[in-house]
Amino acid sequence: MPRRGWRRMNNIELLFSSPAIAGGLLIDGILFGSIFALIAYGLALVWGVMNIINVTQGEFVILGGFAAVVMADNGFHPLLAVPVAALVLYVLGRLLYRTIIHRIVDRDLFTSLLATFGISIVLQQLMNIVFGGDPRNADAGLGVWFAFDYSIVLSKVKLLAFVLAIVVGAALVVFLKMSRLGQAIRATAQNARAARVVGIDTNRVYEATFALNAAICGAAGALAATAYTIHPYIGLPYTVRSFMIVIIAGLGNIGGVLAAGLGLGAAEYYAGFILGAEFQIAFVFGLLVVVLLARSWWLGRKRRYLK
Amino acid sequence: MFRVMKFAAAAVIATGAMAGTQAFAADDVITLGAAVSLSGKYSTNGEHTQRGYDLAVQVINERGGVQVGDTTYMLEIKYYDDESTATRGAELAERLIQQDGVNFLLGPYSSGLTKAIAPVTEQHGVPMVEGNGASRSLFTSGYRYLFAVLSTSEQYLASAIDLAAERAADLGKAPNELTVALAFENDPFSQDVRAGVVEDAQRHGMQIVIDDKLPKELNDMATTLTRVRALQPDLLVVSGHARGAATAIRQIQEMRVDVPMLAMTHCDSAKIIKEFGDAAEYTLCASQWAPTLTYQDDLFGSAADYAALFEKTYDYAPPYQAAESSAAVMTFVDAFQRAGTLDRAAVRDALAATDMQTFYGNIRFDETGKNIAKPMVLYQVQNGAYVVVAPSEWAAADPVLPRPGWADR
């Protein structure tokens, strides 16, 4: 359709003619990406340490979100739910590990994919029964800052998510480097058998890792419920985006995860603005393919040197 | 763990057997079949649908049942949970007809499920009256046994476009100078709604400046709204089920997007007034039905009477999904009585000749089976309540146009 093409050219023009729009979009995109970066930390951790691709990430997020909604309904400030959701999900993470996950740690990827997928379906239906299927939102009432006659509007909740993404990222780096448990986690990730040989209780390490991931997801979810809307079946986009961020950043690279998360958010927003919302996600997936191709080419090139 | 599962399995079998015997318990019972979404993503609206059916059945039975020929029958509904998935819906329709021997079906919730079930009922020659499948494509496939009491999707927001044209002067423009932004979810129903809006906008010569398809996993539409802010259309139209309505209200407020007219669907299923309070103010919402309309029937009385009874029974105000479901049961009953027999083909012909008024609206089907006697209404959220503002014949108040800007609120 020529009219559509013409519209897209106009969108690009609009972007160049108004720095406020371009800047606002950049900021919105980065803030949008920060929640996904948070979730991706946890995924990278579980994947790297336990070799499990946890498809339940999204449902953990939504559960955290419902914690915020429930607290808001009962008169608490929804932001109080950030630590509460983290705690609740931490306990749930431990519980899930002891009942199910510990059985699949050493199995192949297919088993763990299937098992976590099963858990995600059960969680979805449980949330639907307990909280209902309606889209919910917990308004933190923090309001916005704005500039340039509302061309740039900065939501304080999203800004908080951004700050938390950076703080949690930094804390994770420090935790993994400095603390005994963190060192044990790293040792287990490098070589579980050797870690057991030197006396690390890898089972405990796995449990802590999985619960830590759930806690991070819960905190992210409480923020997602205040910044966006949630319902029991909206977990998948969170799982998929965090998966993509980890693919792009690589495992064991917290800084990379943060950069990939924020960058992807911004890229997605520019794509959505120029191409229209229907191509927003398609663009991200396209980008994923390009990154994977580029990476395989880059690695292949190195391999030739080694020969 | 296993013991629990065994117990659950036994319970399921037991209840299944009980339900089975119940269906054949008495001769003077008409059993209607329905596969409704009681779990899965449509469970909220599935429940509204079921309650609408149940309330109608309850009232009809209390009044002594249905007189067909010389016999008086009680009504009964056999339900299955379609889990909000189309394949399951079709399976269950097959089961209702083949195994349970049900001769008449009530519709499921949503166009998608109705679309899955319609070929089955058609194949078996089983009449289906539905109140929750509005997609235009349901009525272009030549189905003879499908009847819908609700207005179809392309009519949903037509009144919003007409209202914009009517009130163009309030916005300081001629109708053909108005610009329109569209943001519709990329699913068959929402795209049908869009087709109707595009047709109407073109008829008035309006210019469409944004035409976005929103993804199904919809929780963010910031890029669309950024363009709305930049291009400043006169009318923004959004449709994407409850999640679309919730996301739009949330982000339009958060991003402080000013648009003179905002129209959408599914406001009440998203509970925008309760969830978002002031942010929902001045939103125009398409609705199949409103308790303030002046329709009447002998069973429920007026629309307001129905609303009061529903609220007394279920403790919340009836959403239109419940009202249209009750109307579907009433349509069947009316057809049974006029047919004077429970022969499927005779009931089908009686359905096709339906011409009645219910609390929900007038019901008269065209040859494709859709109700052509009832218009959509347009609400506006004013002071925390839905007020009918269009079409003018039903309007309880004047629409507030343009919406006050965020800076002035």
This prediction has a pTM of: 0.83
Q: Does some domain include residue A294?
A: no
pLDDT at A4: 56
Q: Does some domain include residue A283?
A: no
> Which residues of A fall within a CB distance of 8 Å from B183?
277
Cα–Cα dist A239/A163, whole Å: 21
pLDDT at B23: 42
With an 8 Å Cβ cutoff, are A237 and B217 in contact? yes
Interface predicted TM-score (ipTM) of this complex, two decimals: 0.85
Minimal C-alpha gap between B119 and chain A (Å)? 28
Q: Does some domain include residue A66?
A: yes
B360 contacts chain A (CB < 8 A): no
pLDDT at A209: 95
Residues 229-258 of B with CB under 8 A from A: 229-231, 242-243, 245-247, 250, 254-256, 258
Residue type, B203: R
pLDDT in tens, B290-334: 988 889 999 999 999 999 999 999 999 898 999 999 999 999 999
| CA B258 and chain centroid, separation | 29
With an 8 Å Cβ cutoff, are B276 and A137 in contact? yes
With an 8 Å Cβ cutoff, are B276 and A139 in contact? yes
Q: Does some domain include residue A82?
A: yes
Q: Does some domain include residue A295?
A: no
Is pLDDT of B13 > 90? Answer: no
**Spatial CA neighbour of B92 closest among B80, B102, B101, B109:** B80
Neighbours of B343 (CB within 10 A): 12
Chain A: residue nearest B243 by CA? A135
CATH number of the domain where residue A225 is located:
1.10.3470
Write down the CATH number for the domain with range B155-287+376-408: 3.40.50.2300
Q: How many CB pairs under 8 A join A and B?
A: 115
B44 contacts chain A (CB < 8 A): yes
Q: Average pLDDT of chain A? A: 89
Query: B377: pLDDT confidence band, cut at 50, 70 and 90?
Result: very high
> What are the domain boundaries of chain B?
13-151+292-364, 155-287+376-408
> Which residues of A fall within a CB distance of 8 Å from B242?
134-135, 231
The region of weakest confidence among A134-143, B40-49, B169-178 is: A134-143
pLDDT in tens, A216-260: 999 999 999 988 889 998 998 899 899 999 988 888 788 999 999
pLDDT in tens, A75-114: 998 889 999 999 999 999 999 999 999 999 988 889 999 9
Q: Does some domain include residue A139?
A: yes
Percentage of residues in chain A having pLDDT higher than 70: 94
Q: Which CATH number fits domain B13-151+292-364: 1.10.10.10, 3.40.50.2300, 3.30.200.20, 3.55.40.20?
A: 3.40.50.2300
Find the mean pLDDT for residues B198-207. Answer: 94
Q: Does some domain include residue A290?
A: no
Chain A: residue nearest B244 by CA? A135
Cα–Cα dist A38/A137, whole Å: 20
Domains identified in chain A, total number:
1
The region of weakest confidence among A56-60, A121-125, B186-190, B297-301 is: B186-190
For residues B78 and B268, the model is more confident at B78
Query: B187: pLDDT confidence band, cut at 50, 70 and 90?
Result: confident
pLDDT at A301: 79
Q: Does some domain include residue A282?
A: no
pLDDT in tens, A25-48: 899 999 999 999 999 999 999 999
Cα–Cα dist B104/B33, whole Å: 6
pLDDT in tens, A59-68: 999 999 999 9
A231 contacts chain B (CB < 8 A): yes
In degrees, rounded to 5, the angle at the alpha carbon of residue B162 between the alpha carbons of residues B159 and B165 is 155
If DSSP states are collapsed to H, E and C, what string results for chain B? CHHHHHHHHHHHHHHHHHHHHHHCCCCCEEEEEEEECCCCCCHHHHHHHHHHHHHHHHHHHHCCCEEECCEEEEEEEEEEECCCCHHHHHHHHHHHHHCCCCCEEECCCCHHHHHHHHHHHHHHCCCEEECCCCCHHHHCCCCCCEEECCCCHHHCCHHHHHHHHHCHHHHCCCHHHCEEEEEEECCHHHHHHHHHHHHHHHHCCCEEEEEEEECCCCCCCHHHHHHHHHHCCCEEEEECHHHHHHHHHHHHHHCCCCCCEEEECCCCCCCHHHHHHHHHCCCEEEECCCCCCCCEECCCEEHHHHHHHHHHHHCCCCCHHHHHHHHHHHHHHHHHHHHCCCCHHHHHHHHHCCEEEECCEEEEECCCCEECCCCCEEEEEECCEEEEEECCCCCCCCCCCCCCCHHHC
Q: Average pLDDT of chain B? A: 90
With an 8 Å Cβ cutoff, are B222 and A28 in contact? yes
Percentage of residues in chain B having pLDDT higher than 90: 73
Name the residue among B43, B214, B230 with its Cβ closest to that of A277: B214
A66 contacts chain B (CB < 8 A): no
Is pLDDT of A267 > 50? Answer: yes
Residue range of the domain that includes A228? 2-277
Q: Is B13-151+292-364's fold the same as B155-287+376-408's?
A: yes
pLDDT at B50: 97
Is pLDDT of A152 > 70? Answer: yes
With an 8 Å Cβ cutoff, are A144 and B231 in contact? no
With an 8 Å Cβ cutoff, are B256 and A150 in contact? yes
